C-alpha cells in the first residue's frame, strides 16, 4: 500500500501543494536490486524500459505496473515466459524456488497534460507537457514486485535537447551530441524512483560532499544562483539543528505542471512559482527540511503523520523566529485564527491526520501540530528540545517513527513522563478556551497585588500560561500553571500595574475568544456573504477596481451603490475608493479613524477595520488606475494581513494589527 502526504508548502496564498510519498515499508521483506534502463522520447511522449533483477525462494512472481504501460516480454533465466494478467497485476510461475534472473521490457505513451484531470493538477499521475515529462514513482511506470522492497540502479536516456534527473544519487552522466545518459542509484526502502526530464539548463553547486542542482527552463535560469545558495544555507542550518544531510544530492526542478512537490532529495516546483520570493524562502526551507522529516525519518501513518507539523515548526516557524519574535508570534496567531475558523464538526484529533486533503486537515496537521512542538519546547526547555530532536533523528533515520516514538524520545531526554502532554494534544479533539475574570489590583505595604481568575471550558487541559503585567515603564512576565476548570492567581509586583495580559505571545494552542484577533483581509475575503462598495466615479478607475475586487473575492460580488452605508451593519465589505472618498466613507459609516501608519504612506493602501456591528471591512484606497492594476497583482498575496502599503506597485509595508485589548487583556 502506498501513502501520500500532501504538503502545502509556502505562502498561505498560493495553493502550492507538495506531495511527499512513501511506500509503506515492508521491513521484513527481502529487497530486490533492479537494474533499469529507461529511454525517454519527448517527440511522441513515449517511454521504454528494460528491468533486470533476481528473485529467489518463491514459486511465482506478481508484478504491478500502471495500465498505460504494456509489458511486452518477460524472460526467466533467458527464456521467454508466459504470464497471466488481471488489471495491472501480472502473474507468472517460476521453475522452482531457486534463484531466477528476470528480464522484462515494457513501454507506454505518457498522457498529455489535462488540466481537467485532478491527478494531473495534483502531480498524482505521469504527465507529458511542452516543458517536460514527469514520471512519479507512485504512478507505477516501473514494475513493482509484490511483497518486496526495491533498490535501483537507474539509467535514463534522453535526446541531447533534454536533461533528466531522478530521486536518488547521481552516479554518472554522459552528455553526447545525440543523447544524454544519466545513471542514478536509489536505495532500498525509499519509494520507487521518480524521473523528471525536460529542456533544462543545469546549474550546480558542490559543497562538502553534497551536490546541489537546479534543472530550470531557460527563462528561469537567472534564479538558479539564488536557489543553489538558498538550498545550501538551509541544508547547513538543519544539519546543525538535526544531523548530517542524509543524501548525496539535492535538486530543484522546474515543473511544467502547476505543482509544488517534495521528493527524497528533490523538489519539483511549477516554473511560474520559481520567481516568487516566498518560494525561494519559506517554501524552499520547508522542502529542504522534508529530507529529514518525512523522507529521512518516515511518519508511521497508522498513528498519525507528525512530519508536516514538525517540518512547519522547524522550517516555516524557525525562519519567522530568525526574522524576529513578532513574525513568529504573528505566524502562531495565524494558526490560531485558522483553528478558530474551523467549524467544530470538522475538528479532528491530531493522531488522525495523515495528509492534507483540504484546508481543514491542514489546520490540524500543520498548524496545530507545529504548535504542539512549540509547546513541547516550552515544556522541556530549548536545550533539551534540541537534544531530543537530534536523538529522534539518530534513533530513527530511514525508519518509520510514530507519535509514541517521539514521546519516548522526549521522555528519555528529560527523564520524566509526558503521557499527559501527548494524551491531551495528540489523542484528544479540540483545544482549551481560556477566559479571564475577577481582575483586581491592590496595594499592600510596598507591593502591588494583581489577582485574577483564569478558567477553561469543557475538557480540562494541563497548561503553562504566560502572563504579562505591564507597568508605566517596564513589564514583568510570569507563568501560571492551570490543570483545573478554574484557578485564582495572585501575582506581586513593585510598580503600579497598568495592564494585565494573558498569553501575550500566543504561546498556548487554544480556541480564540470572539474578538480576540484583529481583523485580517481573509476574514472578509473568505466570507461568502461579503459584498463590495464602489466609491470610484471615473470609468477607468471603476473597471480596475472591479477587476481587483473580483480577483480578491474569487467571484463577482454584489456591488452596493456608493454612499450606501447600510450594509456596513449586515455583511463584510470590500470598499474601494480614492483617499478623499474613503475618508468620507469612514465618517459616514462611523468606522474607526484611519490609523496613523496608514495616513499618507505609499501611493496605495489596503487595511481592515471592524465596524460597530462586528463585521470586518477591507478598505482599498488608490487614486489612479495604474496603482489599482499593480495591486491586482500583489494584494491577493496579503490575505493574512491587516494592512498593506504599496509604493510603485510593490508592497513596502504590511502586517497584522497588534492586539491592544481583547478579553484576555485588562487595563487598570
Ligand atoms: Zn510539507
- What pLDDT sits at residue 122? 81
Cell of 588: 459616514
Distance CA 293, CA 310 (A): 7
Measured CA to CA in angstroms, residue 626 lies from 633, 636, 645 at distances of 11, 16, 15
Whole-Å CA distances, 378 to 34, 317, 403:
47, 15, 18
Is 298 exposed, middle or buried, given 0-12, 13-18 or 19+ CB atoms closer than 10 A? buried
Name the residue with higher pLDDT: 385 or 588.
385
As a three-state string, the secondary structure of 206-271 is EECCEEEEEEECHHHHHHHHHHHHHHHHHHHHHHHHCCCCCCCEEEEEEECCCCEEEECCEEEEEC
Helix, strand, coil percent content, the chain, rounded in steps of 5: 30, 35, 35
Q: Is residue 359 over pLDDT 70?
A: no
- Let me know if 468 is exposed, middle or buried by CB neighbors in 10 A (0-12, 13-18, 19+): middle
Four-residue CA torsion sign, 492, 494, 497, 502: negative
Cβ atoms 469, 450 nearer than 8 A: yes
pLDDT above 90: residue 327: no
Q: How far is the CA of 20 from the centre of ligand 1 (A)?
A: 7
According to the model, what pLDDT value does residue 663 have?
Answer: 87
State the average pLDDT for the chain. Answer: 89
Res 17: pLDDT: 28
* Residue 605 parent element (H or E): strand 604-610
Contact 637, 520 (CB under 8 A): no
- Mean pLDDT confidence for 322-350: 86
Q: For the residues 618-635, what does the mean pLDDT come to? A: 91
529: which residues sit within 8 A by CB, 6+ positions away? Answer: 571, 572
**DSSP label at residue 11:** -
Flag whether pLDDT at 3 surpasses 60.
Answer: no
Which residue shows C-alpha cell 483545544? 431
d(CA 176, CA 197): 16
For residue 127, report the distance from its CA to the centre of ligand 1, in Å. 22
Helix (H) or strand (E) holding 354: none
Domain 2-25+35-45+110-289 class in CATH: alpha beta
Task: Return phi, psi of residue 609, to 5°.
Answer: -140, 160
Grid coordinates standing for 437? 475574570
Residue range 132-143: mean pLDDT, rounded:
94
Distance 312 CA to ligand 1 centre (A): 7
Q: If you measure from the C-alpha of residue 624 to the centroid of ligand 1, how many angstroms do you get, rounded to a whole number?
A: 40
Distance 412 CA to ligand 1 centre (A): 27
Question: Which secondary structure element, helix H or strand E, spans residue 5, and what is its range?
Answer: strand 2-8
* Residue 655's pLDDT band (cuts 50, 70, 90): confident
Strand order in the sheet with 604-610: 559-560, 531-534, 573-577, 616-622, 604-610, 643-647, 650-655
Ligand 1 centroid distance, CA of 310 (Å)? 9
Query: What CATH number does the domain located at 300-427 have?
Result: 1.10.390.10
User: Among 661, 606, 613, 612, which residue's Cα sits nearest to residue 630?
Assistant: 606
- Domain ranges for the chain: 2-25+35-45+110-289, 300-427, 434-502, 521-655
Per-residue confidence (pLDDT) for residue 148, from 0 to 100: 83
* Distance from residue 8's CA to the centre of ligand 1 (Å): 6
> Under DSSP, is residue 12 helix (H, G, I), strand (E, B) or coil?
coil
Whether the pLDDT of residue 1 is over 80: the answer is no
CA of 269 to the centre of ligand 1 (A): 13
Is 302's pLDDT higher than 90? Answer: no
DSSP designation for 545: H
Q: How far is the CA of 137 from the centre of ligand 1 (A)?
A: 18
State the DSSP string of 359-378.
HHHHIIIIIIHHHHHHHHHH
* Ligand 1 midpoint to CA 425 (Å): 20
How many residues are there in the chain? 668
CA distance 245 to 201: 25
**Burial letters 517-545, b for 16+ CB under 10 A, else e:** bbbbbbbbbeeeebbbbbbbeeeebbebb
- How many angstroms does the Cα of residue 315 sit away from the middle of ligand 1? 10
* d(CA 263, ligand 1 centre) in Å: 10
Q: What is the pLDDT of residues 162-183, one digit of tens each?
A: 999 999 999 999 999 999 999 9
| Cell, residue 348 | 479532528
Task: Spell out where 513-584 has E strands.
Answer: 531-534, 559-560, 573-577
**Which of 267, 275, 226 has the alpha carbon at shortest distance from 249?**
267
Distances (CA, A) of 98 to 56, 95, 205, 363: 5, 8, 46, 52
Q: Give the Cβ contact number of residue 140 at 10 Å.
A: 20
What is residue 623's predicted lDDT score, i.e. its pLDDT?
93
pLDDT tens across 416-452, in order? 999 999 999 999 999 999 999 999 999 999 999 999 9
pLDDT of residue 579 exceeding 80 = yes
Q: In angstroms, what is the span from residue 6 Cα to ligand 1's centroid?
A: 7
Minimum mean pLDDT range among 138-142, 188-192, 230-234: 188-192
Examine the pLDDT at 240 and tell me if it is beyond 80.
yes
| Helices (runs of H) and strands (runs of E) counted in the chain | 16, 39
The number of beta carbons lying within 10 Å of the beta carbon of residue 343 is: 7
The rounded Å distance from CA 255 to ligand 1 centre is 17
Classify domain 521-655 by CATH architecture. 2-Layer Sandwich (3.30)
pLDDT at position 483: 96
Q: What is the pTM of this model?
A: 0.80
Q: Please state, as a whole number, how many other Cβ atoms lie within 10 Å of the Cβ of residue 596.
A: 8
Amino acid at each position: 500500500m502506498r501513502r501520500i502526504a500532501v504538503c502545502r508548502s509556502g505562502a498561505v496564498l498560493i495553493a502550492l501543494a507538495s506531495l511527499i510519498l512513501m511506500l509503506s515499508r515492508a521491513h521484513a521483506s527481502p529487497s530486490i536490486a533492479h537494474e533499469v534502463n529507461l529511454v525517454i522520447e519527448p517527440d511522441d511522449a513515449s517511454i521504454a524500459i528494460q528491468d533486470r533483477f533476481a528473485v529467489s525462494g518463491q514459486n511465482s512472481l506478481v508484478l504491478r505496473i500502471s495500465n498505460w504501460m504494456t509489458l511486452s516480454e518477460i524472460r526467466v533465466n533467458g527464456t521467454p515466459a508466459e504470464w497471466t494478467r488481471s488489471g495491472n497485476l501480472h502473474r507468472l510461475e517460476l521453475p522452482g524456488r531457486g534463484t531466477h534472473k528476470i528480464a522484462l521490457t515494457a513501454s507506454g505513451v505518457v498522457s498529455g497534460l489535462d488540466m481537467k484531470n485532478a491527478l494531473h493538477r495534483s502531480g498524482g499521475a505521469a504527465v507529458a507537457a511542452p516543458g517536460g515529462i514527469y514520471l512519479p514513482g507512485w504512478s507505477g511506470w516501473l514494475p513493482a514486485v509484490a511483497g518486496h522492497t526495491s533498490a535501483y540502479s537507474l539509467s535514463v536516456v534522453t535526446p541531447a535537447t533534454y536533461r533528466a534527473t531522478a530521486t536518488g544519487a547521481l552516479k554518472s552522466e554522459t552528455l553526447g551530441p545525440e543523447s544524454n545518459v544519466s545513471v542514478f542509484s536509489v536505495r532500498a526502502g525509499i519509494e520507487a524512483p521518480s524521473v523528471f526530464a525536460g529542456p533544462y539548463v543545469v546549474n550546480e553547486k558542490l559543497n562538502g560532499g553534497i551536490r546541489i542542482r537546479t534543472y530550470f527552463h531557460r527563462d528561469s535560469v537567472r534564479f538558479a544562483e539564488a536557489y543553489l545558495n538558498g538550498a545550501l544555507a538551509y541544508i547547513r542550518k538543519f544539519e546543525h539543528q538535526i544531523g548530517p544531510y542524509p543524501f548525496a544530492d539535492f535538486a530543484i526542478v522546474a515543473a511544467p505542471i502547476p505543482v509544488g512537490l517534495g521528493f527524497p532529495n528533490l523538489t519539483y516546483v511549477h516554473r511560474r512559482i520559481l520567481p516568487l520570493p516566498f518560494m525561494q524562502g519559506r517554501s524552499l526551507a520547508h522542502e529542504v527540511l522534508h529530507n529529514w522529516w518525512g523522507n529521512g525519518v518516515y511518519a508511521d501513518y497508522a498513528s498519525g503523520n507528525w512530519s508536516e507539523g514538525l517540518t512547519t515548526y522547524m522550517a516555516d516557524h524557525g525562519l519567522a523566529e530568525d526574522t524576529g519574535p513578532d513574525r513568529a508570534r504573528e505566524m502562531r496567531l495565524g494558526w490560531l485564527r485558522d483553528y478558530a475558523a474551523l467549524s467544530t464538526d470538522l475538528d479532528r484529533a491530531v493522531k488522525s491526520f495523515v495528509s492534507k486533503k483540504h484546508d481543514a486537515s491542514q489546520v490540524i496537521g500543520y498548524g496545530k501540530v507545529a504548535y504542539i512542538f512549540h509547546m513541547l519546547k516550552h515544556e522541556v526547555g530549548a536545550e533539551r528540545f534540541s537534544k531530543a530532536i537530534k536523538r529522534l533523528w539518530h534513533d530513527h533515520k530511514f525508519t518509520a517513527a510514530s507519535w509514541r516514538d517521539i514521546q519516548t524520545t522526549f521522555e528519555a531526554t528529560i527523564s520524566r513522563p509526558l503521557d499527559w502532554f501527548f494524551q491531551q494534544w495528540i489523542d484528544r479533539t479540540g483545544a482549551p478556551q481560556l477566559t479571564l475574570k475577577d481582575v483586581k489590583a491592590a496595594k499592600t505595604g510596598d507591593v502591588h497585588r494583581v489577582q485574577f481568575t483564569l478558567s477553561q471550558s469543557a475538557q480540562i487541559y494541563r497548561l503553562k500560561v504566560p502572563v504579562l503585567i505591564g507597568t508605566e515603564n517596564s513589564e514583568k512576565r510570569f507563568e501560571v500553571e492551570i490543570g483545573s476548570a478554574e484557578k485564582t492567581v495572585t501575582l506581586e509586583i513593585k510598580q503600579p500595574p497598568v495592564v494585565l495580559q494573558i498569553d501575550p505571545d500566543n504561546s498556548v494552542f487554544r480556541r480564540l475568544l470572539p474578538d480576540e484577533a484583529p481583523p485580517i483581509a481573509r476574514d472578509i475575503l473568505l466570507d461568502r456573504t461579503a459584498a463590495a462598495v464602489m466609491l470610484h466615479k471615473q470609468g477607468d478607475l471603476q473597471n480596475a477596481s472591479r477587476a481587483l475586487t473580483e480577483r480578491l473575492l474569487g467571484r463577482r460580488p454584489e456591488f452596493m451603490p456608493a454612499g450606501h452605508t447600510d450594509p456596513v451593519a449586515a455583511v463584510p465589505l470590500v470598499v474601494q475608493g480614492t483617499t478623499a472618498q474613503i475618508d468620507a466613507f469612514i465618517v459616514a459609516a462611523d468606522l474607526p479613524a484611519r490609523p496613523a501608519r496608514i495616513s499618507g504612506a505609499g501611493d496605495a493602501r489596503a487595511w481592515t477595520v471592524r465596524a460597530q456591528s462586528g463585521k470586518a471591512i477591507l478598505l482599498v484606497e488608490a487614486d489612479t488606475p495604474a496603482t489599482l492594476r499593480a495591486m491586482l497583482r500583489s494584494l491577493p498575496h496579503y490575505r493574512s494581513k491587516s494592512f498593506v502599503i504599496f509604493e510603485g506597485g510593490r508592497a513596502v509595508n504590511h502586517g497584522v494589527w497588534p492586539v491592544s485589548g481583547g478579553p484576555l487583556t485588562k487595563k487598570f
